[in-house]
Amino acid sequence: MSAASIIFAGFGGQGVLLMGYVMALAAMHSGKNVTYLPAYGAEVRGGTANCTVVISDEEIASPVAGTPDYLVVMNNPSMVRFGNAVRPGGAILANADLVEDTSGRPEVREYRLAVSTLAHELGEARSANMVMLGALVELSGLVELTVVQESLAATALGRKPEVLELNRRALSLGAERMREILEEEKGK
């Protein structure tokens, strides 16, 4: 890997910035160079939120990702805003529960996961972001899932053992679901 860039986008309150932060922490804990660039809408909760994470084995020249390798979208407006930015050959992970639109780009791999539903089945709807992060980790291979799970402890989620454990399970569930999707894709 030389460098990979990811844009995480959704509504404020969906844990979009936390996804990027945890991914950045995990990359740092893996000995990689990282930048994390959050952007908030004026409204914060309910408004738009996005962040860019760049992970590299080399020094990073810019934290900006005009054409990201990966796009994680948690809501429809984010697909509309960022769907055309992904580089050809890149991938989009969309929350199928809230994202109706597709990118319409055959040169980009698009994966739709019902992460809100999966999180609800775990017993905590707010863990949808961690389900999606687990899926991204499995798809991208940029960091190990165990490192991401360990990195959670360095966030506010690490203050309560039961919340930490729930979110670790959410990460594993997302990774497992993405593994199933990739296996199905291979079988076609």
Q: Give me the CATH number covering residue 121.
A: 3.40.920.10
Residue 179 confidence (pLDDT) above 60? yes
Q: Please state the rounded mean pLDDT for residues 166-173.
A: 95
Residue carrying structure tokens 């769907």: 83
User: Which residues form the domain of 32?
Assistant: 3-187
Q: Please state the rounded mean pLDDT for residues 158-182.
A: 93
pLDDT at 157: 75
d(CA 176, CA 109): 18
Q: What is the DSSP string of 91-160?
A: EEEEETTT-------TTSEEEEE-HHHHHHHHT-GGGHHHHHHHHHHHHH-SS-HHHHHHHGGGSGGGGS
Decide: pTM greater than 0.85. yes
Number of domains, the chain: 1
Residue 28 confidence (pLDDT) above 90? yes
